[in-house]
């Protein structure tokens, strides 16, 4: 397990029903045994600390969107990073950097992977250095040890402009409003992930992205839902239709008859799926 939060580490230890090596209950240990499966479980603060030498399977579902991004805005003096400052009224405000910042190196790297015509149309750009670095680490590990990574997240297959948002109690709020009380997320730049992986290792192949609807469809979600609908209650059928639409639909569900404003929203095209696999593993079925 890769987990840097002591609190979440303890919850994982409890949910996996772990015991430490001397068969006594206690706090999460570096090396424990799960009573659910009987397998050994160990925790590491970073991916780099995970022992190498064996095939690795990584599932990154709504992971990349939580990584920090740097925002740049086009100005008369060139591309400037948006920084946070304190206004005269003691409130936070955005300001533009007066000179290049360390993150500018990643902006230049991202531009290297883009067409000049596309860059010329942009007034704002987001880059995620951590996503680039982490993808390179994942690609190197998969290239040398085998295995693969599945990435599913909402994003774009190209440069992301201005997507950073704050969500509190299921609603959008100002990013600078009461920092620390809202979840921050940003669209994932899948094109940058592809270039990062391919640049890091010649032994990996990147497949996709494709929409979540296409991905789940190729795995047989339609047949699965039809089979479940044949033997279920009306309440279960409504739940299946709602869940199915959220996964593969687009926009508001057309069949919704419930309260206005509560119709399930389909994420089938907003979410994208991509894999990074060792070339020896072949092409994953959904991408064939």
Query: What b/e string do you get for 26-52 counting C-beta neighbours within 10 Å, with b at 16 or more?
Result: eebbeebbbeeeeeebebeeeeeeeee
What sign does the dihedral 242-246-247-249 (CA atoms) show?
positive
**Contact predicate 3/15, CB 8 Å:** no
The per-residue pLDDT for 229 is 93
**Contact predicate 162/280, CB 8 Å:** no
Q: What is the DSSP letter of 210?
A: E
Q: What is the DSSP letter of 188?
A: E
The per-residue pLDDT for 251 is 81
Maximal CA-CA distance, the chain: 66
Residues whose CB is less than 8 angstroms from the CB of residue 38 and which lie 6 or more positions away in sequence, other chains included = none
What CA–CA distance (Å, rounded) separates 185 from 165?
6
The per-residue pLDDT for 223 is 94
The per-residue pLDDT for 27 is 46
The partner residues of 155 in beta bridges, in order of sequence, read: 188
The per-residue pLDDT for 24 is 47
Mean pLDDT by 10 residues, the chain (288 residues): 90 92 52 89 90 92 95 96 94 94 96 93 96 97 96 96 92 91 95 98 97 95 94 92 92 74 84 97 93
The per-residue pLDDT for 28 is 44
Overall size of the chain counted in residues: 288
Which of 61, 80, 65, 103 is closest to 189 using CA atoms?
Answer: 65
- H helices of the chain, in order, are 6-15, 104-112, 116-120, 129-145, 190-200, 212-218, 221-229, 234-248
In the numeric block, which tokens belong to residue 74? 């086009």
The per-residue pLDDT for 20 is 84
The per-residue pLDDT for 221 is 94
pTM, full prediction: 0.88
The per-residue pLDDT for 195 is 98
Q: What is the set of domains in the chain, with CATH numbers? A: 1-45 (no CATH), 56-69+128-288 (3.40.50.12710), 70-125 (no CATH)
**Contact predicate 107/72, CB 8 Å:** yes
**Contact predicate 132/192, CB 8 Å:** yes
- Residue for token digits 């880059």? 127
What CA–CA distance (Å, rounded) separates 79 from 154?
26
């Amino acid at each position: 397990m890769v987990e840097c939060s002591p609190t979440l580490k303890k919850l994982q230890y409890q949910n996996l029903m772990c015991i430490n090596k001397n068969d006594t209950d206690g706090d999460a240990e570096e090396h424990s045994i799960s009573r659910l499966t009987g397998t050994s479980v160990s925790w590491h603060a970073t991916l780099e600390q995970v022992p190498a030498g064996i095939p690795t399977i990584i599932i990154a579902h709504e992971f990349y969107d939580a990584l920090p991004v740097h925002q740049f805005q086009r100005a008369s003096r060139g591309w400037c990073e948006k920084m946070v400052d304190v206004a005269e009224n003691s409130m936070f405000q955005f300001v533009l950097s007066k000179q290049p910042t360390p993150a500018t190196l990643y902006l230049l790297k991202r531009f290297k992977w883009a067409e000049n015509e596309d860059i010329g149309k942009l007034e704002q750009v987001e880059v995620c250095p951590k996503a680039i670095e982490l993808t390179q680490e994942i690609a190197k590990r998969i290239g040398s040890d085998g295995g693969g990574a599945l990435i599913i997240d909402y994003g774009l297959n190209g440069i992301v402009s201005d997507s950073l948002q704050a969500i509190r109690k299921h609603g959008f709020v100002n990013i600078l409003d009461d920092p620390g009380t809202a979840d921050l997320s940003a669209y994932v730049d899948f094109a940058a992930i592809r270039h990062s992986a391919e640049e890091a290792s010649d032994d990996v192949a990147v497949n996709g992205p494709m929409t979540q609807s296409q991905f789940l469809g190729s795995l047989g979600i339609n047949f699965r839902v039809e089979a479940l609908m044949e033997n279920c209650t009306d309440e279960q059928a409504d739940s299946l239709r709602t869940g199915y639409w959220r996964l593969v639909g687009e926009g508001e569900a057309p069949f919704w008859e419930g309260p206005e404003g509560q119709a399930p929203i389909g994420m089938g095209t907003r979410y994208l799926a991509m894999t990074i696999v060792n070339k020896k593993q072949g092409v994953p079925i959904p991408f064939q």
